[in-house]
Amino acid sequence: TTDYDLLIVGSGLFGAVFAHEATKIGKRCLVIDKRSHRGGNVYCEKIEDITIHKYGAHIFHTNDKFIWDYVNQFTTFNHYINSPVTLAKGRLYNLPFNMNTFYQLWGAITPEEARAKINVQIDRFGVANPANLEEQALSMVGKDIYETLIKEYTEKQWGRKATELPPFIIKRLPIRYTFDNNYFNDTYQGIPVGGYNKIIDGLLEGTEIRLNTDFFDDRSYFESLAETIVFTGKIDEYFDYQFGELEYRSLRFENEIINSSNFQGNAVVNYNDATVPFTRIIEHKHFEFGKQPQTVITKEYPESWSSKKEAFYPVNDKKNQAIYKQYCLMAKDSKVIFGGRLAEYKYYDMHQIIASAIRKFKTEYCETK
Ligand code: FDA
């Protein structure tokens, strides 16, 4: 017999939800994480008594009442609504593209005026079968919105020309003909009061956890500890990179403490221009309507990735998808349960990760035991 029923590699949302569900039915779990803290990318820390989202701004949103109730078991959410603004050539515009944006761009006052403006440009610059991101954007929103608010930001974010990016990156570009700055369309939205750590602590209550512990430092020892392994790290690393390395886009975060109670008046301000090296500034206190005397801001710099850096966004091009497919086939043949953003090489929002962990717990663990 083994010491544990389950070894869960990674204490991010996927691993923590999996551990919670398994512990609930009496399974003995060990969670390991190579970082010095639990929670993966939703981990928060305090600076100047302000909650900081250490790995980038995290706003919880979902349409699924079950998922909303699930996270609300562990904490209280505030009523934060994500309404970013973007700075382009010295002017501020509301996002997502809505009547406020169209007024700021063209002085359009009615939805009819705005629609006419956009449609004329789509007719003139759009193409039937967009072959790249630029053509896709021109076909969906026309030239002014694309050139003023999309092109430079997207090129910075991906480090490539819009004409060299695949069209599907912006498959959906929501346009609203209402004065509605709420970025997400979901029914439920908010930020957990005090940050995400409480959710992770609640999920992992009663579960043994070892931090600063990398699975690959002693793989055979960890494999011997439990009957079942749940792996939420990088799938290419798990299979020893035998089909090559999967590529990512990385980010660098620079924090500054500022001696002012309000730096930018909003939690998220995007910086569109190519001349500014960062893509956005997060002012964390506004996520919690904070009244602290000081403020902490984080500049977010997109960066090319190397295996020494944090992997943030998977690069979903043909080359990487083909490599991922090969790992996926190997994963299907193994007894290990692979889940989460790194093991599935996929961008997931938090609500999707929770749903996926609960589903995989039922279908890949419970139903096979
Ligand atoms: P996560 O990366 O969190 O956890 C994996 C864990 O495994 C890590 O702790 C890692 O250290 C550990 N690990 C890996 N390899 C290991 C090894 N070999 N040994 C031991 N441990 C190992 N979502 C949303 O809903 N709203 C939002 O606003 C945002 N915002 C956002 C901003 C940015 C910049 C990013 C990159 C992402 C978001 N997200 C988001 C998405 C959100 O971060 C994501 O859904 C979850 O954090 C994914 O949780 P996982 O458990 O899959 O991975």
Q: Confirm whether 176 is a catalytic residue.
A: yes
Measured between alpha carbons, how far is 287 from 45 in angstroms, rounded to an integer? 14
Residue 363 CA, ligand 1 centroid: distance in Å: 22
Q: Confirm whether 223 is a catalytic residue.
A: no
Q: Confirm whether 70 is a catalytic residue.
A: no
Q: Residue 23: is its pLDDT beyond 80?
A: yes
Q: Tell me the average pLDDT of the chain.
A: 96
Q: Confirm whether 280 is a catalytic residue.
A: yes
Q: Residue 285: is its pLDDT beyond 90?
A: yes
Residue 39 CA, ligand 1 centroid: distance in Å: 8
Instruction: Tell me which of 318 and 338 has the higher pLDDT.
Output: 338
Query: Which residues are CB-neighbours of 135 under 8 A, at least 6 positions away?
Result: 126, 127, 163, 167
Residue 14 Cα: closest atom of ligand 1: 51
10 lines ligand 1 (CB under 6 A): yes
Measured between alpha carbons, how far is 77 from 169 in angstroms, rounded to an integer? 30
Residue 247 CA, ligand 1 centroid: distance in Å: 16
Q: Residue 74: is its pLDDT beyond 90?
A: yes
What pLDDT was estimated at residue 170? 86
Residues facing residue 51 across a β-bridge? 46
Complete domains list, the chain, with CATH:
4-81+189-247+315-368 (3.40.50.720), 95-170 (no CATH), 248-304 (no CATH)
Work out the angle at residue 349's Cα, subtended by the Cα atoms of residues 179 and 132, and round it to the nearest 5 degrees.
75
Residue 304 CA, ligand 1 centroid: distance in Å: 18
Tokens of 94: 């509301």
215 lines ligand 1 (CB under 6 A): yes
Q: Are strands 268-271 and 85-88 parallel, antiparallel or unpaired?
A: parallel
The stretch 19-44 carries a mean pLDDT of: 98
Task: Tell which residue, 232, 298, 260, 356, has the closest CA to residue 44.
Answer: 298
pTM for the full predicted model: 0.96
Q: Are strands 29-32 and 208-210 parallel, antiparallel or unpaired?
A: parallel
Task: Give, in order, the Cα–Cα distances in Å from 331 to each of 86, 103, 134, 221, 368.
Answer: 41, 51, 36, 20, 16
Measured between alpha carbons, how far is 57 from 300 in angstroms, rounded to an integer? 10
117 lines ligand 1 (CB under 6 A): no
Q: Residue 318: is its pLDDT beyond 90?
A: no
28 lines ligand 1 (CB under 6 A): no
What pLDDT was estimated at residue 1? 79
350 lines ligand 1 (CB under 6 A): yes
Tokens of 62: 């979902």
Query: Which residues are CB-neighbours of 79 under 8 A, at least 6 positions away?
Result: 190
Per residue, what are the HEC states of 72-96?
HCCCCECCCCCCCEEEECCEEEECC
Catalytic member of 4, 247, 280, 288 = 280
Catalytic member of 49, 210, 223, 347 = 347
Q: Confirm whether 349 is a catalytic residue.
A: yes
This model of the complex carries an ipTM of 0.99
For the chain, what is the largest distance between any 2 Cα atoms, rounded to a whole number of angstroms? 72
Q: Residue 236: is its pLDDT beyond 90?
A: yes
Measured between alpha carbons, how far is 120 from 173 in angstroms, rounded to an integer? 18
Residue 41 CA, ligand 1 centroid: distance in Å: 4
Residue 98 CA, ligand 1 centroid: distance in Å: 31
φ, ψ (nearest 5 deg) of residue 347: -75, 125
What pLDDT was estimated at residue 171? 80
φ, ψ (nearest 5 deg) of residue 5: -75, -40
What pLDDT was estimated at residue 144? 97
Confidence of residue 228 (pLDDT cuts 50, 70, 90): very high
301 lines ligand 1 (CB under 6 A): no
Confidence of residue 316 (pLDDT cuts 50, 70, 90): confident
57 lines ligand 1 (CB under 6 A): yes
For the stretch 171-204, pLDDT in tens is 877 899 999 999 999 999 999 999 999 999 999 9
**Residue 194: count of CB within 10 angstroms of its CB:** 14
Q: Confirm whether 359 is a catalytic residue.
A: no
Confidence of residue 271 (pLDDT cuts 50, 70, 90): very high
Q: Confirm whether 252 is a catalytic residue.
A: no
